[in-house]
């Protein structure tokens, strides 16, 4: 694993990236004094904002939401370690992005057995060129990541560099029995082994992992409605969601249609939204009080002595996915996830 990072350069894949200041994302380019130092720092490099690649941004920058990035290298290393890639393993990567992770996979398995897919044609075309420039020619395909890529199946290893609520059935079908799936779910990284009966089961890695969500099918607006509605007191403020352990636990209690925008919660199903402030009040819109669910989850999290992500199990099948936890007293708890 260390050898892969020592031998595969990162800088060819991120000649330009964004840095945010005052709500504006401005490009930082090859040749600027701090560019190379930041490329090889252990940090996320945002490479696209609202669909605008950093290469195409003017000096004035771009306002919007990041839509593609180069992952934190230490997190990439943990995920690749969990994937346990051996030479000759057939690997499918969901989310090509810059192509850097695909290059690491090529070094570990061999480019001839690596397939990487991304929904965005421009990202795919650029990554293909950059991979070739550093000496790798895997299969780089524009495709809906939720569907995998049946043509190359079965795969011994499947890794996602984007967040999902549940493991898509296509990934289960395309993973060989005994193969591994590593994917971010609910702010953590799950490592699952494909079972002979078609299910996959496993656990979560110890560290938090915030990834941009997998985009599949037609795009739908996800921005929360304006902050106009009832305001009430709360015993907890927005900062509870900054705790990765609690954020994971809270996600198990929220409906799969609820998305987060920073500290704001927004249910895409009915339009309900919760805007907690930094102290003890929350503003609510829509038909439901989403923050009540968070408050109840926080009480139960404290009652369970703040369980850690790596204590949870996950089981994914063609029709359902469950996350489970067994308390020190032997009590087993299970949540349907992403259904």
Q: Write out pLDDT tens, residues 32-60.
A: 888 999 999 999 999 989 889 998 998 88
**Residue with structure tokens 């000096």?**
59
Name the fold adopted by 73-208: Rossmann fold (3.40.50)
The distance from CA 183 to its chain's CA centroid, rounded to whole angstroms, is: 7
pLDDT > 60? residue 223? no
Average pLDDT over residues 255-283: 88
pLDDT > 80? residue 228? no
pLDDT at 210: 78
pLDDT at 255: 87
Helix H or strand E segment including 106: helix 100-109
- DSSP strand E in 124-256: where? 139-142, 155-160, 175-185, 188-194, 200-208, 230-233
Q: Smallest Cα–Cα separation from 243: which of 187, 205, 284, 295?
A: 187
- pTM given for the model: 0.90
For 330, the 3-state DSSP assignment is coil
Q: In this structure, what is the dihedral angle of CA atoms 299, 305, 310, 316, given to the nearest 10 degrees?
A: -40
Q: How far is 24 from 29, CA to CA, in rounded Å?
A: 16
Q: Smallest Cα–Cα separation from 100: which of 182, 39, 156?
A: 39
Per-residue model confidence as pLDDT tens digits over 125-184: 999 999 999 999 999 999 999 999 999 999 999 999 998 989 999 999 999 999 999 999
Q: With cut-offs at 50, 70 and 90, classify the pLDDT of residue 21.
A: confident
Q: Where in the sequence of the chain do the CATH 3.40.50.150 domains occur?
A: 73-208
Q: How far is 265 from 275, CA to CA, in rounded Å?
A: 7
């Amino acid at each position: 694993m260390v050898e892969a990072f020592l031998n595969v350069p990162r800088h060819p894949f991120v000649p330009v990236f964004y840095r945010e200041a005052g709500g504006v994302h401005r490009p930082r380019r090859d040749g600027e004094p701090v560019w190379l130092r930041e490329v090889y720092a252990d940090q996320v490099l945002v490479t696209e904002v609202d669909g605008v690649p950093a290469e195409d941004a003017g000096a004035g920058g771009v306002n919007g939401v990041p839509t593609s990035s180069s992952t934190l290298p230490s997190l990439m290393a943990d995920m690749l370690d969990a994937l346990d890639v051996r030479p000759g393993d057939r690997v499918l990567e969901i989310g090509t992005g810059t192509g850097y992770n695909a290059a690491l996979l090529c070094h570990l398995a061999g480019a001839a057995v690596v397939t990487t897919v991304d929904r965005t044609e421009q990202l795919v075309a650029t990554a293909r060129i950059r991979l070739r420039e550093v000496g790798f020619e895997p299969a780089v395909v524009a495709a809906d990541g939720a569907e995998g890529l049946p043509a190359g199946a079965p795969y011994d290893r499947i890794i996602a560099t984007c967040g999902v609520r549940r493991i898509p059935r296509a990934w289960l079908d395309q993973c060989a029995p005994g193969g591994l799936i590593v994917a971010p779910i609910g702010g953590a990284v799950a490592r699952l082994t494909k079972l002979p009966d078609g299910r996959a089961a496993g656990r979560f890695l110890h560290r938090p992992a915030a990834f941009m969500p997998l985009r599949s099918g037609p795009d739908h607006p996800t921005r929360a409605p304006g902050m106009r509605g009832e305001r009430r007191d709360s015993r907890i403020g927005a900062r509870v969601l900054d705790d990765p352990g609690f954020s994971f636990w809270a996600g198990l209690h929220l409906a799969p249609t609820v998305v987060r925008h920073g500290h704001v919660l927004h249910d895409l199903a009915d339009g309900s939204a919760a805007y907690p402030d930094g102290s003890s009040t929350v503003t609510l819109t829509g038909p439901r009080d989403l923050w009540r669910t968070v408050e109840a989850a926080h009480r139960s999290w404290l009652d369970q002595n703040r369980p850690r992500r790596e204590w949870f199990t996950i089981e994914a099948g063609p029709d359902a996915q469950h996350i489970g936890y067994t308390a020190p007293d032997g009590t087993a708890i299970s949540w349907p996830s992403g259904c």
